[in-house]
Every structure is written in C-alpha cells, then in structure tokens.
Amino acid sequence: MNMERSPGEHNEEWLLDEPIVRPYVMTRGRTDARGKFDLVTIAVTIRSTTGAEVGLDPEHLTIARLCRRPLSVAEIAAHMDLPAGIVRVLLGDLLEKGFVAVQQPQSETDVLDERTYRAVLDGLRAL
Amino acid sequence: MASGRSEQPKLPKAIKLLVAGGFGVGKTTMVGAVSEIRPLRTEETLTDRSVGVDDLSGVEAKSTTTVAMDFGRITIGDEYMLYLFGTPGQERFWFVWDELARGALGAVVLADTRRLADCFPSVDYFERRGTPFVVAVNCFDGSPRYDLDEVKLALNLGSEVPVLLCDARRRESGKEVLIRLIEHAYSRRPAAAKEVSAR
C-alpha cells in the first residue's frame, strides 16, 4: 500500500469519516504488537514528523501529532476511531523508528511501594 | 540519527482500575462521573485464540470479535494516570477480561440490589484471579435498601472485602469508592502480607 498522500493536515479528515480501507490493511496485515503494548501503555512523541518521512503512513503521522502530549493506547485508539490492535502495530513502527517513547503501565507483579499508594490516595482525595 | 532526537522525557505511569458488574448497573455512569475527560470508547479486536494454532494457513478460518469498552482518566500529579475501564457486560466476552484484568490494581464491582445475581460472575472472576475488589451497591431510586451485611452474606464475600453504598452518578461518591478500593488494594499487596506474616 504505497499510495500517494497529500501532505500534512488533510490526512486527519478522511480518517474521521467512514473507514475506506479495512483496518488491518493499514498495518499490512500485521497483528503482532499485542505483547508490546497494553491498553494503557503511554506514548509520547519525541521527534517531530514532517510528513515526508519514508515509511510513515497518514495514520502514523496522526498518532505522532496526537502524542505531542502523553496518551495511552486506548486514548489514541478512541480519538482515531481505530481498534486498539491497529494502534499497537502503528505505534510499534513509530517506536522502532525513534519517533515515540513509551512508558509501560504499572504491572501487578511490581510490588507497588507505599509511596505510590499514598500519591494515588492523596490525588484522589484532592479531586 | 544523532540530531533531532530529544532526551527521553519522564512519562507518567498508568494505573489500571476496572469497573465491573451486570449490564445496565451504571458502570459507564460511574466512569463518567469520576473521569476528568468525557468517557471514551475503545474497540479491541480479538482473535479467537481457542484454536491454539496461529499459523498463516489458518487465516481464513480465524474468527474475530470486537468488544467495546468505555473508559475514563484521572491524572494524579505528573507521575500517574489512573485509567478506569468499564468491563464489557456480556458474559460471552469474558475472554477479554484476562487481557483487561492483567496489570489492573483493583476492581469495583457495581451491584444493583434488584438484580444482585448479575454481579456474581464479576465477584467470582476477581476472587479467582486474586484481583483486589470492592463491592459498591449502586443506590437506584426505588431499589430495595438492604443492610450491607445482608449484601455481603448474599454474595458470600470474604470478611475482608469492603462493601459500600454509592451513587454512580455522583463524582464524590465515585471518588469514595475508588479511595476505598486503593486502600483495600494497599492492605492486600504482597509486601503487606509479608509484613503481617513476619510479625
């Protein structure tokens, strides 16, 4: 799928419309990024994109734009109206090419220290 | 590659909480009440993995299911982001729960006293999985008021499981439930168990 694309800002528009390609066409059929990204793995863009990068599709650029502030996989998926599985694959590409940094979530096997619980409780009480 | 790449920023860590319970019990309402963002919906496309084999020759026979989950977010300073996921209510989507529950710090089981049995599967699930949970009885208008001990008895809950009343529409109420859940999870963390057994 090496189709011509218009630069920059037009990309988002057709994404928000009804899908015109089946979702996994965007990933060239790849579905294998599940182990790497949880729904709440957080991503942030660390290198800005110009839109002219080789190998980046409009969806990659949209993710890079959304992640100028830290966002979870679930949020990216919701904002782009794409299944989380697609976002995982696309995010994997961006990570590999050095455009994003990711933070894995707190895992249940990590023993949360007292400070973490304290911070979360204080944060909730202050809401 | 040397230029243009900035320092790896310090990113907030996500903490996942689940809101479970029967269909229509107010899961999304509760998520929306405490979330700082309008609840979002994400779709997870799942491949039927019960076949066990994942080679390309079977691609045409694979079935996929899409489940939708509503979720919200609470930012805790610049260090943590709390994500609240409403679990899909339909029983046939249970296989997604393992994926959802993996890494979850705890769960709220919402109960409706008019249909208490609806929350049995959630209680069973979190008990079996060892995920810390609290039971929050959503006080619908006109629902029979039971003593919390009666609810506890009806659900056959361990004495350590907190049971509380709530109003899923109210932010303050949802906040209280989450605070109880975090406190409960804290008391049940492996380190706490060790502290107790060391005494």
pLDDT along chain A (127 residues), means of 10: 47 52 70 74 92 87 96 96 91 94 79 82 93
Element spanning B106, H or E: strand B104-111
Q: Are A47 and A65 in contact (CB under 8 A)?
A: no
B183: exposed, middle or buried (Cβ count in 10 Å: 0-12, 13-18, 19+): middle
Note which residues in 64-123 of chain A have CB less than 8 A from chain B.
Answer: 70, 72, 74-75, 77-79, 82-86, 98, 101-103, 105-108, 111-114, 116-117, 119-121, 123
Cα separation of the two ends of chain A: 47
Q: CB under 8 Å to B23, separation ≥6 — which residues?
A: B89, B90, B118
Q: Is A58 helix (H, G, I), strand (E, B) or coil?
A: helix
Q: Which of B113, B154, B158 is nearest to B136 (CA)?
A: B113
What does the CA dihedral A80, A84, A86, A88 come to, rounded to 10 degrees?
Answer: 110
**Predicted pLDDT of residue B89:** 66
Query: What pTM was estimated for this model as a whole?
Result: 0.80
A-chain residues within 8 Å CB-CB of B42?
A: 39, 74-75, 77-78, 84
Q: Which of A116, A125, A14 is nearest to A59 (CA)?
A: A14
Report the complex ipTM: 0.79
Calculate how close chain A gets to B84, using CA atoms only, in Å: 10
B13-41+64-198 sits in which CATH class? alpha beta
B-chain residues within 8 Å CB-CB of A44?
A: 9, 11
Q: CB under 8 Å to B190, separation ≥6 — which residues?
A: A111
DSSP annotation of B103: T
Alpha-carbon dihedral sign for residues A125, A44, A15, A93:
negative
A-chain residues within 8 Å CB-CB of B179?
A: 121, 124-125
Residue ranges of domains in chain B: 13-41+64-198
> Testing the interface with B: which of A24, A100, A117, A122 to mutate, by most B Cβ within 10 A?
A117
> pLDDT digit of tens for each residue in chain B (199 aa)?
444 444 566 889 999 999 999 888 999 999 999 999 999 999 876 655 443 444 444 444 555 667 788 999 999 998 999 999 998 766 566 666 677 888 899 999 999 988 999 899 899 999 998 999 999 999 877 667 778 888 899 899 988 999 999 999 999 999 999 999 999 999 987 666 555 555 5
Residue A36, chain B, CB below 8 Å: the answer is no
**Predicted pLDDT of residue A69:** 93
Interchain contact, A127 vs B74, CB within 8 Å: yes
Q: Which of B128, B26, B105 is nearest to B70 (CA)?
A: B26
Q: Is B22 helix (H, G, I), strand (E, B) or coil?
A: coil
Calculate how close chain A gets to B39, using CA atoms only, in Å: 10
Residue A21, chain B, CB below 8 Å: the answer is no
Whole-number Å distance between alpha carbons of B135 and B111:
7
Interchain contact, B103 vs A106, CB within 8 Å: yes
**pLDDT tens digits, one per residue of B142-195:** 667 778 888 899 899 988 999 999 999 999 999 999 999 999 999 987 666 555
